[in-house]
Amino acid sequence: MMTPQHSLPDPALLTERFEARRGTVAVIGLGYVGLPLLLAFGQAGFEVIGYDIAPEKAERLMRGDCYIQHIDSAPLRPLLDTGRLKATARMADLAGADAAIICVPTPLTAQREPDLSYIEKTAAALEPYLKPGQLVVLESTTWPGTTMEVMRPILERGGLVAGRDVFLAYSPEREDPGNARYSTRNIPKVVGGDGEAATAMAAALYRQAIGDVVPVSSTQVAEAVKLTENIFRSVNIALVNELKVVYSRMGIDVWEVINAAKTKPFGYMPFYPGPGLGGHCIPIDPFYLTWKAREFNVNTRFIELAGEINSQMPGYVVGVLQNALNDHAGVALRGSRVLLLGMAYKKNVDDVRESPAFALLSLMEERGAVVDYHDPHVPEIPPTREHAQYSGRRSVGLTEQTLTGYTAVLICTDHDAVDYGLLEGYSGLIVDTRNVMAGRHSRGTIVAA
């Protein structure tokens, strides 16, 4: 390793530069996390460069076309007109950026172990273009220690030393797609750096675009914050999913129980059951901690049990559907025509990552059902690593004629754009996993699942 020949950067001056909103911010990975972050820094007055390995994303952004449904494209045009935004598929275009923020996927392998290949490849591609004084922030969800143990050694290959020549930090993404109340700019931002100077620098940068910044003592603490948030949700969702199964056997409506329980003003927080977990966080993130915990000879039994319960929910739902067809329609699941309502993992978005709809679709077809889907936000199923066989399948229309042709409708995602009145009037059997049909009076039968 060669010793770099340059004067050492002054962290205080770099922090002041961010506070003055001078310089260029590069965002690597222009998906559900990176794109809104890019726009937030652009709107705050920074020069911004967005990088993605998919050239079509960069091309669309440069035309002022936002490719993510729930993100408003209106802020793009002023940034393009003033020349403050550039999108590219060439890593070399990031040379000279004052800050580089990495927002790449961190999936699981087929063996349910962390796949850090996107972080590793991104760091290796970025390293030749680092400059002294640059801030590099990782936002991808991962196990505590990744920034220092995985990313830092790769970035230091060219001779620049973290904490002296370049500065590293971790700031967990907290995006909630489709949430009208909270967006990138008003969700508090946790920031932990490799030392006090890196923390101060990263906090100064984020404060310019985000209202509330919460500094913590290290990158490891910041990494643990993200996992803690999503494990909390996973465990509590598993609890209400288990309660749903128990109360159903007792003839008790779990939704009525939850609605009554949440009137307690202390000591209780409502979580809601469903057909299984979806999205890029909750089904995946807990396994990052269980994997890392094994290094310390710790068994995370509580976390793993929650994952087991949540992963069993699609099977439970298909079992409810099977019984409902037998009891109320007098037919078997095999040979029945079923309309799956919703492919997205949550309401009012077009994101299908880890959606329980895939497991439902697979289980129903394995048991001989003929299945179509309707989703106003997902007109066509995009390519996915785990469910490539469904790529290109298209949403069917929701009309009187189509509904009367199905033996049952299985509600997986409760989009607001769906005409539930049509379901009431023209569906013979509705199996509802989201309680969206509560209080409605259908000509057929509504079964909670």
Instruction: Output the domain CATH number for residue 282.
Output: 3.40.50.720
- Could you list the active site residues? 281
Each residue's pLDDT tens digit, 157-180: 999 999 999 999 999 999 888 788
Q: Give yes or no for residue 2 having a pLDDT over 70.
A: no
Q: 217, 249, 275: which is the final residue of a domain?
A: 217
| Position 244 in a domain | no
- Find, among 175, 54, 151, the residue nearest to 100 by Cα: 151
Burial of 357 (0-12, 13-18, 19+ CB in 10 A): buried
Residue 273 counted as domain residue: yes
In a domain, 369, yes or no: yes
Structural domain includes residue 194:
yes
With 80 as the cut, is the pLDDT of residue 297 above it? yes
Band of residue 69 on the pLDDT scale cut at 50, 70, 90: confident
Residues 159 and 264 in one domain: no
Q: What is the pLDDT of residues 235-259, one digit of tens each?
A: 999 999 999 999 999 999 999 999 9
User: Does one domain contain both 271 and 123?
Assistant: no
User: Are residues 268 and 209 located together in one domain of the fold?
Assistant: no
Residue 74: per-residue pLDDT: 86
CA atoms within 13 A on the CB side of 10: 4
Map residue 191 onto helix, strand or coil: strand
Instruction: Read off the pLDDT of residues 416-449 as tens digits, 9 standing for 90 and up.
Output: 999 999 999 999 999 999 999 998 888 889 999 9
Residues 6 or more apart in contact with residue 75 via CB below 8 angstroms: 39, 42, 43
Whether residue 285 sits in one domain with residue 196: no
Record the tokens describing residue 9, joined without a space. Answer: 């950067």
By residue range, what is the domain housing residue 179?
11-217
For the chain, what is the domain count?
A: 2
Same domain for 75 and 181? yes
Structural tokens at position 428: 């013979």
Q: Is the pLDDT of residue 109 over 90?
A: no
Are 349 and 288 part of one and the same domain? yes
Residue ending a domain, choose from 217, 237, 268: 217
Q: What is the SS3 assignment for 73? A: coil
**Whole-number mean pLDDT of the chain?**
94
* Residues 202, 336 share a domain: no
Domain check: are 66 and 201 in the same one?
A: yes
DSSP state of 162: B
Answer yes or no: do 275 and 410 share one domain.
yes
Please indicate, yes or no, if residue 232 is contained in any of the structural domains: no
* Stated pTM of the model: 0.91
Residue 5 in any domain: the answer is no
**Secondary structure letter of residue 394 according to DSSP:** B
205 and 74 together in one domain: yes
Q: Does one domain contain both 191 and 324?
A: no
Residue 315 inside a domain? The answer is yes
| 424 located within any domain | yes
pLDDT tens, 32-62? 999 999 999 999 999 999 999 999 999 999 9
Asked whether residue 160 falls in the same domain as residue 273, the answer is no
Least confident of 17-21, 53-57, 69-73, 103-107: 69-73
Residue pointed to by tokens 């129903």? 364
